[in-house]
């Protein structure tokens, strides 16, 4: 099945739920949503958010943690981070809802950085989801 067909089918399933959800949370899914999903979901006033292991405008897409770690080693980058953001058609480019910086430690192994980032992600996804739900009027 083509990605656009999959996304259209997924949107149809979500829109058929009763009651309809207020929010769709993408966390670790690693699927780029197409307009075939986003357009009908957005038209139904369902918010879509995503957890991404980088700060806004930095390291969009897959492999963000490794690319930040490499930038720390090769370019002297001192920090990376985590964000929860609105999902738009452009990958990891929607408005940030909440962010947190994560220090890049000199000599730290990639696995250790990944563990520290995942710890931050676990709290940030809850905080980002709560913030969005707080803005939704019932």
Residue from 31, 52, 85, 118 carrying the catalytic annotation: 52
The pLDDT of 103-127, averaged and rounded, is 97
CATH 1.10.3720.10 fits 3-135, yes or no: no
Give dist(CA 79, CA 113) in Å, integer: 11
- pLDDT confidence of residue 3: 87
Tell me the per-residue pLDDT of 41-96, one tens digit each, with 9 for 90 and over. 999 999 999 999 999 999 999 999 999 999 999 999 999 999 999 999 999 999 99
**Catalytic residue status for 85:** no
User: For the chain, what are the domain ranges?
Assistant: 3-135
Provide the whole-model pTM: 0.93
Cα 98 to Cα 3, 9, 53, distances in angstroms? 29, 30, 12
């Amino acid at each position: 099945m083509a990605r656009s067909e999959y996304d259209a089918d997924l949107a149809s399933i979500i829109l058929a739920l009763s009651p309809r959800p207020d929010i769709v949370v993408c966390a670790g899914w690693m699927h780029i949503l197409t307009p075939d999903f986003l357009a009908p979901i957005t038209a139904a006033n369902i918010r879509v958010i995503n957890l991404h292991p980088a700060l806004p405008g930095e390291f969009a897409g897959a492999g963000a943690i490794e690319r930040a770690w490499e930038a720390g080693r090769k370019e002297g980058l001192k920090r990376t981070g985590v964000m929860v953001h609105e999902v738009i058609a452009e990958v990891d480019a929607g408005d940030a809802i909440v962010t947190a910086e994560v220090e890049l430690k000199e000599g730290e192994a990639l696995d250790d950085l990944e563990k520290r980032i995942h710890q931050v992600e676990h709290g940030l996804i809850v905080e980002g989801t709560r913030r969005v739900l707080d803005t939704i009027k019932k």
